[in-house]
Structure formats: structure tokens, C-alpha cells
Structure 1
Amino acid sequence: MTPHKAARASPLSREQRLENRVLAYTGQGAEHVIRRMKGFRVQRGVYRFLAVRAGVVGDAPTPAALSPGPR
């Protein structure tokens, strides 16, 4: 659901403003859930990289791939 939008000629009524606040409040919870899911995705990628680097998963990378780039 999308929030109500005010125009210069017709500002929002009190009820429309309250509906927008309810939408913002419920959307905030959804955004927090998405943020937490993305955090798990980042952690999964880091752990997978460390497992590959240690040779636990898949082919072990070459030493050139492990060396840090120029600083």
C-alpha cells in the first residue's frame, strides 16, 4: 500500500496523515527484518570465503589469490 500524497492545493486530512503514520510504522518493522536478513547474508559470505581459504570447502585457492593487493 502506498501513502497518501499531499498537493499544494489540497493538503492531507487528519485521517490521511494518521494512515500515513500507520503505514510508516508497519513499514519500519519490515525494513528491520530485511536489514537483519542482509546481515546474515554478509556473514554467510565471509564464512564461506574463510572456509575456501582454509581449504575446507572446494578447491584451495592459489597463494597469489590469497595475497593482499597493493596498498
Structure 2
Amino acid sequence: MRHARDVLELVLQKLPPRPRLELKRQVVSLDTAYVGRTLPDPFAHQRQWRSDLWWRRRLADGEEGG
């Protein structure tokens, strides 16, 4: 999930405004589901190379909450 979300973030940054908004609506829905199935990682700042990305600061089971 984390790699897929990284890719989605890159795509969102590169899209023109209208398609970006359309995709963002879908991504927000998926993000909400992911947050509901994961927990905050209190040690994310020590473990992740990009702890500024919220989805990299989540703990999930082996299936990433899916």
C-alpha cells in the first residue's frame, strides 16, 4: 500500500487541475479506509525515510490493513 500511495501522490502532483481533483476525490476515500484499518506508528520518525508522508507513519498488519 505504501508504494502505491507514493505513486498516487506523484501522479496527483503532475496532473492538470481538473483530472487532479477527480483522482483526489477517489484517493481521499481510499485514504479514509486505510486510516480506519491502521494505527499511528509512534516511531515513524525513526524508521521511515519519508516520515513527512502521513501514510508512512501508519502501522498495519502484514496485509497493510487490506
TM-score bucket (shorter structure): 0.3 to 0.5
- Return the TM-score normalized by structure 1: 0.35
- Return the TM-score normalized by structure 2: 0.37
Bigger RCO of structures 1 and 2 (CA < 8 A, at least 6 apart): 2
